[in-house]
Structure 1
Amino acid sequence: MASERHMPVPVCLVENRPAEGLVVRQEALRVLSEVTQPVVVAGIAGLYRTGKSYLMNRLAGQRRGFSLGASVQSHTKGIWLWCVPHPRRPGHTLVLLDTEGLGDVQKGDSRNDTWIFVLTVLLSSTLIYNSKGIIDQHTMEQLHYVVTLSEKIKLKAAPKKSADELDDSEKFALFFPNFVWAVRDFTLDLEVNGEEISEDEYLENALKLKAGSGPETQHHNELRECLRQFFPCRKCFVFDQPATRRQLAHLEELQDEELSPEFLQQVEKFCSHIWENSPPKTTLDGHIVTGTSLGKLAEIYVEAIRSGAVPCVESVMLALAEIENRAAVKEAVTLYQGLMKEQAKLPTETMQELLELHTRCEQKALDQFMERAFKDGIWSFQAELIWQVEAVKVRFCQDNEQASRAKCEAALRDLSQAVERRVSAGAYSVSGGYELFRRDQQALVEKYQELPGKGVMAGAVLQEFLQSRKTLAKAILDTDCALTAKDRELRFEQDQCERAEWEREVQRMKEAEDKQKKQSQLHSRGEHTLRLRKKLEDCSERQLEVYRRIIGYRSEEESMLLQDGFHERAIRQRTVIHTLQEECHSTTSRILHWVQVLVPVVLGLAFVVLRLL
């Protein structure tokens, strides 16, 4: 069952060590490994000493947590993590990432500033950029890290196949987080030409491009174009100064009554937006990320950065899928094994009873596997799941037969004690002894058959028992002086016929059980095929929804560019939209091919292999 993590205080996720660079902290990974719920990740970035930590504490519903500090010195180093129950999304965990302040002059070496910003972008589902004062050219230049994203992140490992193919950066919007700009200590009136405007309109006005082609204009437009292209889902909040300058040094200790009412309203509005509109963190193909997989993502990205490579999202997703899918198989098999052990009362009366239990437990294991596993290559791990579950099922069938055999043999030993005593006493070595022996043995069989809970080996063990008495019965028959040679021969043939009928009955039971096993496998194959088909269809729909959303944003951007007179940029935007539409169609066709053709074939082969083993 998915679990959430209650953390009293934040912990460091990525430490920025002067001599070693960025290092993932194992304590934080242990924390995330316990969060098996989907996560909504809100990360914040901005210049040092701009009040980022205060906003994150409010998002956590706390006054204290992330260190605020009370001087011009930056307190937060690296990236800090705080997991709290999501206040608006049941079954989700809100993960808050507070980052080291950018541009700290006392740091000496600011080379990791860019990588901290890159990591925050890659790990977040909502990126909050925190600044002070107003949004002007100076403020924009402080956000220059956005311009370097195209150099610091690769979407695909393979190079472009043709000049018509989009650059990686033109598809960043497919997996980049929502963008929220928080402007602190805002002092202007929100109006243009005497008309009131919204906070979002204030941001969009600040992101307007300038006409012209000179160096100054290009410099002005570069960052704005990146922000518009990389983060099409944008939001802005402005905040009044919360208290007097003297009080700001102890902001976390102030009660709400001591803070500016306007500031409190703005904070409440900001928090509500983040809680209600920040989506769960997803991978490139739309798979929802849990705390466990978020920790893996952080590890893989940091390792790539430490190795000197540019993080490649596609490669990271493949590596994550390999880890997660193997873990999904292991967890599902463990769940199946645990459920069978808990619910199977061996021996079961019939094979059908055990197979029905197997079907229920396998379904739950399959549900858990499908919830965690992802990527197109899921089928190979599903085949592994099928084989491992089948191996566990076979062991349960063997244990079931052994438990049944032990119970049946013990029952026959108890029931045959009286007959054994009569044999030892010579009670059957008399005239008419064979008929007496037959009646006693028939009574034994009837009592045995009336016993409940013997299990699936009841007939086979009885057959073996009767076969083991064949020599004894023949000896008693031969010594019965009341019978003529012809009578003895006739009785012997009757006994042979009865044993043959028992053998045929046991064979019929075995064939019926084999048929039940095959039907169970056919049902299992059908369930696996349906679930894989649905998983791939859901994956396709999530990918298409992302494409449709980004295409919608791009169309709005095209309209804005046309409206502002940037016709060449609008034409380029139309080309990008057309390419995204083609990719969307190609993705749909590929997934449909998997669903309609390859899924039944692949899983069919898996079950064929099982029957051959």
Structure 2
Amino acid sequence: MEYPVCFIENHEDGTIQVNKEALNILSHFTQKVVVVSIVGKYRTGKSYLMNKLAGRKNGFSLGSTVQSMTKGIWMWCFPHPVKQDHTLVLLDTEGLGDVEKGNSQNDSWIFALAVLLSSTLVFNSVGTIDQQAMDQLHYVTELTEKIKVKSCEKQSDLEDDSAEFKRFFPSFVWCVRDFNLLLTLNGKNITEDEYLKNALKLRPGKNAAIRNYNLPRECILHYFHSHKCFVFDRPASKENLQNMDNVQESQLDPAFVQQTKRFCQYIYEASPVKTLSGGYTMTGRGLGDVAVSYVESIRSGSIPSMENAVVALAKIENARAVQEALSKYDEMMRQHVNRFPTETHEEFLNMDKEVQAEALKVFLKLSFKDENQEYQFKLLEELAGKKAAYQQINEEASVRRCRTLLQELSAGMEKGIREGRFTVPGGYKLLIEDKKSLEADYMRARGKGLKSLEVLQEFLKEKENVESSILTADNTLKEQEKKMAEQRLQAEAAARDKEILEKANMELQKNIENEHESYRMHIKMLEKKMSEEREKMKEENEWLIKEKLKEQQEMLAGGFKQQCQMLEEEIKQLREENSRPQSLLGEIITAILPGALGKIVKKVLL
């Protein structure tokens, strides 16, 4: 992307919508995305920091007046400068508290969307981290009213699911601009992170003033993780500040330049990939899909639910996974078509099994939260249909090859029939000799495929009338010999019919066995995926436990017993969840996929 584009449009009437151009751009990014968004009061230099992250001097609008320049949320995507095969997505939000807008609810939604869409949230403020700066962060205290973890149908209006926010929310970075204090505390030098940690300390007490003081700090500690702070000197003179688009780096304060480089390096190295619950890593197109889900919820007047967004994304991605897997099957089978016809049915089945395994790998890599294995069941059915179609192509190739071969081998015999070579005394014997020679040559030929017996039988039946006429006209044979010859012809035809039927039954049995093998392969690969997902969930829970233990330690040090008890209960629930046996897999194997197999085998039999 040469320039940023508007991602979330914010209209003058207060409505928001996702920009189609941005969605189209994101749809082409199939790499994992690291999403960094910046929020803060208007005219505090947010866009400058984002341009530095982009490695560009211009791009996001800087502005030089008291007017807010960025409306809605603007997006800029780049190859990640540190993480290979990742895309860095930068989201620059419009300034909060713009007096010209006059719609604080609109600000709250922009803030909520920045939280929901990013893997790192940068809060930008000017001066110091004081109560005034905290007051600017009142949006964070409204997040429980703007965001739900579970769908509204699964919880009551009074139920608070904010304990799960830290699992979904981004890491938190506070950038303090034009900082003019010394980083000291009680006469000792402190780091920027210690400065933030001290600013987030809660005050003991229960009166209204203390509750108001603690609330934004509690929300930052309770909802976000990896709290990081950067302080920046004033970058330049007032005159240069009004012309930042054209100011050279040499005209900026050296300390500011160095601080900006440290900030960028930290964001590049520490910002995580955007993930959903269960450790599902998001791609650009997935980011676009969840953005649509959140914005549609807001536009409809409901509260965006992370669970609903995940479910909506899972439907899109799982349907896409089915199509990608089927495309992979087609792609690989088309490479094998030039090898058709296969010599044996077993060779075709082995080919199908190999290709189907690769298709399943594609599906399992792309799919997630496939409830009741609905989409895997659909894939099984679709693959069975495609297998049947390619089997038909294989058989048709065999028929064409066999007919061509018989045409070549029978050319001399056909010429003899036309020229009357067999309509002479003893001609029948000559015909039989030619026919046996033709059959022997035909049976020795390779590459005929699966339909060699059927095509041969069809060819010989076509010659029965000619053969009977020649037999009848041959006056060197007695009536008894003619009857025996007729009986022999019928017996040979019956023997071939029996052989064809036996072969068809054997192929049917092999088809059923192949479907069972395919089913077992699906189960084995599903078991592996579910075990991996289970491990991811446990790892995520272990990470969350550590985060809550750190939070609990802070609360304990401050004497906040009630909060400590609540955290203890949350930690207990997470540990119980990790210790539960994985019973769901057994239920799926015994109740769902066997039914899918039964339907597919029934199709094979029909």
TM-score by length of 2: 0.94
Secondary structure of the residue aligned to 1:320 is helix
AA partner of residue 242 (structure 1) = P
Q: 1:526 aligns with which of 514, 520, 523?
A: 520
Secondary structure of the residue aligned to 1:374 is coil
- Quote how far apart the aligned CAs of 1:520 are: 2.7
Moved more, 121-130 or 405-414: 405-414
Q: 1:170 aligns with which of 152, 163, 169?
A: 163
Instruction: Tell me the alpha carbon deviations over residues 421-443 of structure 1, each in whole angstroms, 9 at most, x when there is no partner.
Output: 32233322233222211111122
| Structure 2 counterpart of 1:602 | 592
Q: 2:272 aligns with which of 275, 279, 282?
A: 279
- Quote how far apart the aligned CAs of 1:110 are: 3.4
AA partner of residue 286 (structure 2) = S
Moved more, 494-503 or 9-18: 494-503
| Structure 2 counterpart of 1:391 | 385
AA partner of residue 454 (structure 2) = A
Q: 2:508 aligns with which of 510, 514, 526?
A: 514
Q: Does 1:136 align with 2:165?
A: no
Moved more, 511-520 or 425-434: 511-520
* Kept after mapping to 1: 8 A contact 2:127/2:179: yes
Q: 1:57 aligns with which of 48, 51, 57?
A: 51
CA distance in 2, matches of 1:159, 1:448: 70
Secondary structure of the residue aligned to 2:10 is strand
CA distance in 2, matches of 1:60, 1:255: 17
Secondary structure of the residue aligned to 2:25 is helix
- Quote how far apart the aligned CAs of 1:358 are: 2.3
- Quote how far apart the aligned CAs of 1:62 are: 1.8
CA distance in 2, matches of 1:290, 1:244: 41
AA partner of residue 54 (structure 2) = A
Q: Show structure 2 runs of 5+ residues with no match.
A: none
Q: Does 1:113 align with 2:103?
A: no
Q: CA RMSD, aligned part only? A: 2.3
Q: Percent identical across equivalent pairs?
A: 42
Q: Does 1:375 align with 2:369?
A: yes
| Structure 1 counterpart of 2:257 | 264
Secondary structure of the residue aligned to 1:129 is strand
Q: Between Structure 1 and Structure 2, how many residues are aligned?
A: 602
Q: 1:233 aligns with which of 219, 226, 229?
A: 226
CA distance in 1, matches of 2:7, 2:156: 40
- Quote how far apart the aligned CAs of 1:376 are: 4.3
Moved more, 137-146 or 304-313: 304-313
* Kept after mapping to 1: 8 A contact 2:515/2:601: no
Q: Show structure 1 runs of 5+ residues with no match.
A: 1-6
* Kept after mapping to 1: 8 A contact 2:203/2:558: no
| Structure 1 counterpart of 2:583 | 593
Distance 1:354 1:224, change over 3 A: same
* Kept after mapping to 2: 8 A contact 1:43/1:126: yes
Distance 1:611 1:266, change over 3 A: same
* Kept after mapping to 2: 8 A contact 1:166/1:579: no
Q: 1:333 aligns with which of 326, 336, 339?
A: 326
Distance 1:377 1:294, change over 3 A: same
* Kept after mapping to 2: 8 A contact 1:529/1:600: no
- Quote how far apart the aligned CAs of 1:272 are: 1.9
Distance 1:38 1:557, change over 3 A: same
| Structure 2 counterpart of 1:194 | 187
Instruction: Tell me the alpha carbon deviations over residues 207-253 of structure 1, each in whole angstroms, 9 at most, x when there is no partner.
Output: 00111222211111111111111013311111222222222223343
Q: Does 1:208 align with 2:190?
A: no
AA partner of residue 189 (structure 1) = L
AA partner of residue 532 (structure 1) = L
| Structure 1 counterpart of 2:535 | 541
Q: Does 1:244 align with 2:237?
A: yes
Distance 1:265 1:255, change over 3 A: same
Distance 1:158 1:69, change over 3 A: closer
Q: 1:316 aligns with which of 309, 328, 340?
A: 309
Secondary structure of the residue aligned to 1:130 is strand
AA partner of residue 413 (structure 2) = V
Moved more, 244-253 or 391-400: 244-253
Secondary structure of the residue aligned to 1:14 is strand
| Structure 2 counterpart of 1:12 | 6
CA distance in 2, matches of 1:600, 1:89: 42
| Structure 2 counterpart of 1:4 | none
Instruction: Tell me the alpha carbon deviations over residues 330-361 of structure 1, each in whole angstroms, 9 at most, x when there is no partner.
Output: 23223322332343223333333333332333
Q: 2:336 aligns with which of 334, 343, 347?
A: 343
Q: Does 1:418 align with 2:412?
A: yes
Secondary structure of the residue aligned to 2:276 is coil
Q: 2:211 aligns with which of 208, 213, 218?
A: 218
Q: Does 1:79 align with 2:69?
A: no
Q: Does 1:576 align with 2:570?
A: yes
Instruction: Tell me the alpha carbon deviations over residues 22-53 of structure 1, each in whole angstroms, 9 at most, x when there is no partner.
Output: 12111101011111111111111111111111
* Kept after mapping to 2: 8 A contact 1:321/1:373: yes
